[in-house]
Structure 1
Amino acid sequence: MKISTQFDAGAVTVIDVENPADIRLQLRPDNASDFAQWFYFRLQGAAYQNCVMHFENAASAAYPAGWEDYQAVASYDRQNWFRVPTRYENGVLTIEHTPLSNSVYYAYFEPYSYEQHLNLLGDAQGSGLCQIDDLGSTVEGRDINLLTIGNQAASDLKVWVTARQHPGETMAEWFVEGLLARLLDPQDPTARALLDQATFYIVPNMNPDGSVRGNLRTNAAGANLNREWQNPTVARSPEVYYVREKMLETGVDLFLDIHGDETIPFVFVAGTEGVPSYNGRIAELETRFKNAFAAASPDFQDEHGYAKDAPGQANMTMATAWVGEQFKCLAYTLEMPFKDNDNLPDDDFGWNGQRSLRLGEAALSAILSVLPQLR
């Protein structure tokens, strides 16, 4: 048997792979930080053998509560992913699966590769409705690309969407893929109505370096990008620095920052209640957005989520708080689960790329509902 990780986002540490009934592994931390939870590896030579894979350091993961009721994903072709039996006991995460082929992949969540990212950019540009701009380079020299969709008229509302500040949260780029597909569909009436009034600025992947490296939360310099928004630097967090500069140039009327949550098995949003400028107008926009989102997608709910910040207690280094305060606009962090959505569970697939994609499509209906009130 053989375990390998020398591919885009591959990550695991192998201790012992001699006995299929006792494969010993460890989570590999991000390249320049201690965050560990993402894994993605290929197992070969184990067809029709009952493989029991133990992550011996799972208790030291960034979010150990994320292992409760969690099921890993597997695929033979890296296109069709399904859940496999997984348990967490005494600090050890165990995957038990009998592969039906000699080559099988296991991952923390359905991956979204850098090649998929580049294809997404190409497909968007090919629509004829989208302009691609290069804002700058990451720590390791990868492109920070912005998609601009709309007339770019001065009177247009400015809608910003960023995704994958935390690279292991691959569901965020699946979400963007769905949002883009609908927004770029000339036959979709919601898309047409949106682009009559707004220009969209979309960063599908804020953290290309961390994505390729198989990091959970940080870029190549070890920066958690969603804690860099108050004072980003070109040396440590160029991804945030260049996106923030572009926002200051264009302005922002609505901001969505797309993420995944390791622990909470629901789709939810977190707003800007704790920023100094939060007021009744923003609160009313938040309610309108959430009601429209729930009507557009039964996967969305507003009962479970993060505790709201007390007035004046927001963490201003986070994107949603900084943008919401800087532009006095509606700003939301949107979270999707790594596990399943407990409101609409799916035993075979859990929460996955396709469900994230559909949620991205539905988000446009919520955006349309608040557009007339944004200014």
Structure 2
Amino acid sequence: MHISSQFDSGNIRVIQADDPNNIVLAINKDNQSDFYQWFHFGLRGEVNQLHTLRITELAKSAYPKGWEGYNVCASYDRQTWFRVESEFDGDSLTFSLALEHAQVYFAYFTPYSYERHLDLLSDAQCAAQCELRFLGETLDGRDLSMLVIGEEDDAKRKIWITARQHPGESMAEWCAEGMINRLLDDQDGVARALLNDAVFYIVPNMNPDGSVRGHLRTNAAGINLNREWATPSLEKSPEVYYVLNAMREIGVDMYLDLHGDEALPYNFVAGSEGIPAYSAHLADLESRFKQALLQATPEFQDEYGYAKDAPGQANLTIASNAVGQAFTCLAYTVEMPFKDNNNLPDPLFGWSAQRCQQFGEDLLVATRAVVSHLR
């Protein structure tokens, strides 16, 4: 029996692995940070043998409530990820699997590899209406890249999408991929209509270093990028620094920041009602967007989510608040679950990469409902 996490986004620490009935593991912290929750590892064992694994020390993880009602993701081929029934006792997550093949992988959510990220960018740039732009270099020396989709024109609305500021929230890049693929489909009427009126600026992975390192929430320096939007720096948060500079150069009419939520088993949005610049116009745009998304997909709901900020009390270090305030624009944080959508549960797969992609496509329907009202 062998356990390994020495690969892209791998993260696990082996405490005990000499008995398949009692495998004890723990999750490594993000570099220079106390955050930990993302795991991704491979197990090689005997076919048909039941293996029982216990991930420990979770009471002090970033979001202990994220383990309640959560089922582990597993895959034999690293393409199809299914759920394994899991039990949380307040500190340990226990799950068992009789191996159908000698090698199986487990992860907190379906991983989105750096290689797939590079493939996404390369494939997209081959489309006539898409340009790949280099924004800058991360602390680990990786490219921070942006896709510009649509023909740029001052008269067109400028719509920005960022994903995966928190690298363990891989569902965010799966969602971004769905958006990108639909926008680049020249036979899709929604995409064609949107690109007549808007240009999309999409950063599908804001945190490539954290993604490869197997981090939950931070970049290579242990910095939570979604608390850096007031005063980003090249030393600590070049990812935010470069994107914010590009926004200032180009302008922003609408902004969606794609995330995953560990605890809440729903898709929802968090608006910018607490920013000083909030107005009746922004409230109307938020309402139009939500109503259109509710009509577009049963995967979205507006009953469960984060508490709304009081007027003028928004945290302006958070991306959607900072951008909404700086550009007086519609700005939403879009949250998807690590668990499942309790309104439309799927016991076999839970909330999945495929559902993320479809949700990304549906977000474009809601975007079309507001695009003509953005200015």
Shared fold by TM > 0.5?
yes
Fraction of identical pairs, as percent: 57
Determine if contact 1:132/1:148 at 8 Å carries over to the other structure. yes
Identify the residue that residue 72 of structure 2 maps to in structure 1: 72
Distance (Å, rounded) in 2 between the aligned partners of 1:296 and 1:179: 14
Specify the SS of the correspondent of 1:185. coil
Distance (Å, rounded) in 2 between the aligned partners of 1:130 and 1:46: 48
Identify the residue that residue 3 of structure 1 maps to in structure 2: 3
Determine if contact 1:20/1:46 at 8 Å carries over to the other structure. no
1:95-244, aligned counterparts within 5 Å? 95-244=95-244
Specify the SS of the correspondent of 2:21. helix
Identify the residue that residue 289 of structure 1 maps to in structure 2: 289
Cα shift readout 1:58-98 (whole Å, capped 9, x = no counterpart) = 11110000000000000001000000011101411112111
Structure 1 gaps of 5+ residues are none
Identify the residue that residue 19 of structure 1 maps to in structure 2: 19
Aligned-pair CA distance for 1:289: 0.1
Give the partner amino acid of 1:193: A
Give the partner amino acid of 1:307: A
Change (3 A) 1:46 1:91: same
Give the partner amino acid of 1:345: P
Cα shift readout 1:222-254 (whole Å, capped 9, x = no counterpart) = 110000000000010000000000000011000
Determine if contact 1:339/1:351 at 8 Å carries over to the other structure. yes
The question of 1:255 aligning with 2:252 is answered: no
- TM-score, length-scaled by structure 2: 0.99
Distance (Å, rounded) in 1 between the aligned partners of 2:110 and 2:99: 17
Identify the residue that residue 84 of structure 2 maps to in structure 1: 84
Determine if contact 1:30/1:216 at 8 Å carries over to the other structure. yes
Aligned-pair CA distance for 1:32: 1.9
Moved over 2 A (4+): none
Cα shift readout 1:296-345 (whole Å, capped 9, x = no counterpart) = 11101100000000011101000000000000000000000000000000
Determine if contact 1:85/1:97 at 8 Å carries over to the other structure. no
Identify the residue that residue 324 of structure 1 maps to in structure 2: 324
- TM-score, length-scaled by structure 1: 0.99
Specify the SS of the correspondent of 2:324. helix
Aligned-pair CA distance for 1:46: 3.1
Give the partner amino acid of 1:134: F
Distance (Å, rounded) in 2 between the aligned partners of 1:169 and 1:321: 20
Aligned-pair CA distance for 1:279: 1.1
1:271-350, aligned counterparts within 5 Å? 271-350=271-350
Give the partner amino acid of 2:236: R
Determine if contact 2:64/2:90 at 8 Å carries over to the other structure. no
Change (3 A) 1:138 1:347: same
Give the partner amino acid of 1:29: K
Distance (Å, rounded) in 1 between the aligned partners of 2:14 and 2:32: 19
Give the partner amino acid of 2:185: D
Distance (Å, rounded) in 2 between the aligned partners of 1:28 and 1:341: 28
Cα shift readout 1:137-161 (whole Å, capped 9, x = no counterpart) = 0011100001001111111100000
1:46-61, aligned counterparts within 5 Å? 46-61=46-61
Give the partner amino acid of 2:38: W
Distance (Å, rounded) in 1 between the aligned partners of 2:291 and 2:172: 21
Distance (Å, rounded) in 1 between the aligned partners of 2:172 and 2:95: 25
Specify the SS of the correspondent of 1:19. coil
Specify the SS of the correspondent of 2:206. coil
Specify the SS of the correspondent of 2:334. strand
1:345-364, aligned counterparts within 5 Å? 345-364=345-364
Cα shift readout 1:3-46 (whole Å, capped 9, x = no counterpart) = 00111000000011100010010111112211010000000023
Distance (Å, rounded) in 2 between the aligned partners of 1:95 and 1:141: 37
Determine if contact 2:83/2:350 at 8 Å carries over to the other structure. yes
Distance (Å, rounded) in 2 between the aligned partners of 1:188 and 1:291: 22
